[in-house]
Chains A and B, each alone.
Chain A
Amino acid sequence: MSDITAPTGPKLRKKRGRILGNSGLIVAATVLGLITLMAIFAPFIAPHDPYAQTLDDRLIPPAFIDAEMADPRYLLGTDNLGRDYLSRLIYGARISLLIGLLTMLVSGVIGTVLGVAAGYFGGRVDTVVSFLITTRLSLPVVMVALAVVAVAGGSLQVVVLVLGLLLWDRFAVVMRSATMQLRNLEYVAAAQSVGCSTPRILVGEILPNLIPALVVVASYEMAQAILLEAALSFLGLGVQPPLPSWGLMVAEAKEVMLFDPWVILLPGLAICVLVLAINMLGDGIRDVTAPEGRS
C-alpha cells in the first residue's frame, strides 16, 4: 500500500491488461454493481412491500429448504411477521450501502485531512495527529458506538455519525505515511521552489498521487462500516425496526432459530457477499495500481 507510483503513458496499456487479467476484480465489481442496482431500483424489483405483514403467511420456507411448505408467491419465504424475505433483503441493501458510503465519506474526510497534514507538515502537527490516532485506537469501537447510540437514539444518521467519527484511523495512518514519501520527491520540491502555495501543492501535487491508496483504504473502511452497522443493529442499538437492516434481520431470525434455522442464513449471507465484494474490489484495485507492493 505504501508503494505509490504516478501512472505514466506507456504504463496505461499494461494497466488495462492487469485489470482484465484480474478475475477477482471483475467478479467483485460485477457483484457490487448488481447489488447497487438492486438497491437503487428496489421499489421496481421487490415483489412485495417489505413492511407489509401477512400474519397468515408466517415463516414460510423457501423452496430449496422445504419444497412441500414453500409458497411460489414468496421466493425466499417469509419472516416471523409474514413479511416477504426477498423484498426485505432487497431493501436492506439500501441501508447497508447507504451507511457504508456515508460513513466512508465522513471518516475519509477526517482521516485524510489529518493524515496529509501530519505527513506534509511533520513536526508538531505530526505529534498531535499521532496522539489523536493513538487515542482513537485505544477506544473500543463497538462499546463506544453502542453507548452513544443508546443515549442519542438509534437512527441512520446517528449510526453514520458515530461510525464516521470512529473509523478514520486507518485513513490517517495510511495517508500520513504516503504523504511523507511524496513530500520528498523532486516534483514537490520543484513546485515549492517555483513558489506554489501550500494549499496548491497539497491539492494539485500531493492529493492526486494519494488517490490509489485512498481508494483501497476507503473500500476496507466501507466494508468495516457495513459489518459494524450490522453488529450494532443485531445488538438492538443501531438501525431500528421495522427497517429491514440485514443485521436486524439476523437478530429477528435468532428468536425463531430453534425451529426455523434457515431464517438466519439469508441476511447473514447477504452481508457476507456484499462485504466480500467490496474487500475483493479493494484488493483488486491495490494489485492493479501498485503491483510492486504485492509479495
Chain B
Amino acid sequence: MLRFTLRRLLLALVVGIAVSAIAFMLLRVSGDLAIALAGEDASPAEVERIREQYGLNRPIIVQYAEWLWRAVQGDLGRSLFYPESVANLIMSRLPVTLTLAGLGLVIALLISLPLGIIAALRRNTWVDRGALGIAVVGQAMPNFWFGLLMIFFFGLSLGWLPISGSDTWMHFVMPAITLGWFSAPVLMRLTRGGMVEVMTSDYIRTARAKGLPGRVVVLKHALRNAIIPVVALCSVQFGNMLSGSVIIETVFALQGIGYLAWEAISRRDFPVVQGILLLVALFYVILTLLADILNAWLDPRIRRG
C-alpha cells in the first residue's frame, strides 16, 4: 500500500508540474500577448513598451520559472483589471464555486443513487429502460440551455427563484440543479452496474437464504460494496464540476471562480486566467490522487496492477 501511495504521489507531482507549465504556456503559444494587451491597432512602439513592462521580452523559461517559484509561495501576480492580487481575488470567489460544486454533487447523488439502485433491481424492465432514457436525453441537452430553460420557468414565469447573483441560498438552487443534473447519468450508470454485479454474487444469495429482509440485503449488504467506485468517481466529478462552473456561473451570473475566469478571459486579464487554470487543474490532480488511493485501499487488486 505504501509503495502504491508513493508511486501515485510521484505521478501526481509530475502531472502537477506539467499542468502548471501548460497553464502558463497556453496563452503564450496561442498568440502574442503583447499585441493582445495593447489592442489590435496599437503602434509597434506601444506594443514594444508593453512587452517591456510585463517582462514578456525575456526567455519564456525564465518567465515560467519565476511565475512557478512565486506561485509555490502563494503569489500568483496581480490582476490587470482589479486592483488586487490574483490570489486574493481567487480566494474571495472560491467559496461560491465550492458551495456550488458541493451542492451539485449532492443533487447528482440524490438523482443517481435511487435511480441506479432501482434500475439494477428491476433490471430490463420499463423502470430500467426509463432511467436509462432519462440519462441519455439528459446528457444530450446543452447545459447552458438547460439553465436558461430553468431561468425561464422558475425565475421569469413562476417567479419562485432569483435568476442571477449569489447572495442567498435561493441563488444556488437552479445552478446546483443544472450542475448536478449533468453529473447524474455517469454516476447512475456506475451505481446500476455495480449493483447488478453485486446482487448476483454469492454472499447476497447467502444473505437472502438466511432469510434477511430484501431491504436490509439491498441497502446494507449490496449497496456498501457497489458504492465504492461511485465514491471514487464522485471526487473526479467534483473536479469536473469546478471546471464546468465556468458555463453555469456565467448563465446564472454567480460570482465564483468560473465567472471570474470568463470575465478575465474576455478582458485578457491573463495573470487571473493562469491562476485559475492552475488552481482548477491542481484541484483535479489532488482529487484523482485521493480517489485512486481510496480505491486501492478498499480493493487490494488495484495495488498490484
Interface residues of A (CB under 8 A from B): 131, 134-135, 137-144, 146-148, 150-153, 223, 227, 230-231, 234-237, 247, 250, 254, 257-258, 261, 264, 268, 271-273, 275-276, 279-280, 283, 295
Contacts and interface: CB of A to CB of B under 8 A. Distances in A.
A257 B152 contact: yes
Given A140-B246, A142-B244, 8 more contacts: A134-B15, A135-B18, A146-B246, A146-B261, A223-B140, A230-B142, A254-B148, A279-B136
B243 A140 contact: yes
Contacts of B140: 223, 272-273, 275-276, 279
Interface of B: 11, 14-15, 18-19, 22, 26-27, 30-31, 33, 36, 136-137, 139-145, 148-149, 151-152, 156, 193, 196-197, 242-244, 246-247, 250, 261-262, 265-266, 268, 273, 276-277, 280-282, 284-285, 288
Contact of A151 (B18, B27, B143, B149): B27
B164 to A, nearest CB: 12
A150 to B, nearest CB: 5
Contact of A147 (B27, B144, B156, B243): B27
Given A137-B288, A148-B26, A148-B30, A143 B261 contact: yes
Contacts of A279: 136, 139-140
A140 B152 contact: no
A199 B215 CA distance: 56
22 contacts: A131-B14, A135-B15, A135-B18, A138-B19, A138-B288, A143-B265, A146-B262, A147-B30, A147-B265, A147-B277, A151-B27, A151-B36, A152-B31, A230-B142, A235-B247, A257-B152, A264-B145, A272-B142, A273-B140, A275-B140, A276-B136, A279-B136
B27 A235 contact: no
Interface centre among A151, A152, A237, A264 (most CB of B within 10 A): A151
B31 to A, nearest CB: 4
Contact of B31 (A143, A151, A273): A151
B196 A140 contact: no
A227 B142 contact: yes
B136 A150 contact: no
A138 B152 CA distance: 34
- Is chain B's interface secondary structure helix, strand, loop, or mixed overall? helix
Contacts of A223: 140
B145 A141 contact: no
A275 B11 CA distance: 35
B15 A138 contact: yes
A292 B276 CA distance: 44
Contact of A144 (B137, B142, B277): B277
Given A142-B243, A236-B266, A268-B149, A231 B143 contact: yes
A149 B128 CA distance: 41
Most chain B beta-carbon neighbours within 10 Å: one of A153, A227, A237, A264: A227
Given A138-B284, A143-B243, A147-B265, A261 B26 contact: no
B26 A144 contact: yes
A283 B136 contact: yes
Given A146-B265, A230-B142, A231-B247, A138 B136 contact: no
List of 5 A-B pairs having minimum Cβ-Cβ separation, nearest first: A140-B243, A268-B145, A151-B30, A276-B140, A151-B31
Contacts of B243: 140-143
Contacts of B268: 150-151
B203 to A, nearest CB: 19
B43 to A, nearest CB: 20
Contacts of A139: 19, 22, 277, 281
